[in-house]
Amino acid sequence: MAFTRRGGPKITKSIVNRTMANMAVLYGCAEYVPPDALPMPRAKPVHHEHTEQVKVIVWARGARSPAKARLVFAIPNGGNRNEREAKRLKDEGVTAGIPDLCLPVARQGYHGLYIEMKKSVEDGRSTVSTHQKEKIDELIQEGYHVEVCYGSVEAIAVIESYLRG
């Protein structure tokens, strides 16, 4: 890419980089690194599952949800934590693979409902991990109803259907 000044010489990217490198040497600065040689900043993570789960909780706490839906609660197993915090939580009983939401209401012969939240189909499907599959199977064997829901709309429909019996 070249830049021009009115009536002046063509200024190219390489000329700018050489000039900046010479200025760095002249002023005793650290070595000049052209901007395009710098690593790109990491994109901030997008928390699709978080957003969808918050929508479910807001709905469950709202006036239009069934009364028993207000008993739904989150199980904070996921997320990035430093080693110290991860160890502390593990010592407290946080277990990999446990679904994200629990509704402790007995219906249809089940002891309660667990929901594993995944990002909605529009955001691209995410998969269920091996740990999650194992825990889901264990919960089913113990008499719980477990669903993997892709987005808040699906999770709300599952809760409503479960509560209707």
Per-residue pLDDT averaged across 82-88, rounded? Answer: 85
On the question of pLDDT at 165 being above 90, the answer is: no
pLDDT at 60: 95
Reported as a single tens digit per residue, the pLDDT across 96-142 is: 899 999 999 999 999 999 999 998 766 666 789 999 999 999 999 99
CA pair distance 73, 25, nearest whole angstrom: 60
**Range list for CATH 3.40.1350.10 in the chain:** 48-164
Residue 1 has a pLDDT of 47
How would DSSP label each residue in 66-113? -GGGGG-EE----S---HHHHHHHHHHT--TT--SEEE---BTTBS-E
- The CATH architecture one would assign to domain 48-164 is 3-Layer(aba) Sandwich (3.40)
- Span 31-70, pLDDT tens digits: 656 666 656 666 555 567 888 999 999 999 998 889 999 9
Answer yes or no: are the C-beta atoms of 148 and 116 closer than 8 Å.
yes
pLDDT value, residue 41: 63
| Angle ∠(51,72,58) on CA atoms, nearest 5 | 40
Q: How far apart are CA 125 and CA 119, in angstroms?
A: 6
pLDDT at 82 over 90: no
Task: Give the pLDDT score at 87.
Answer: 85
Residues 6+ apart with CB under 8 A from 150: 118, 119, 120, 121, 125
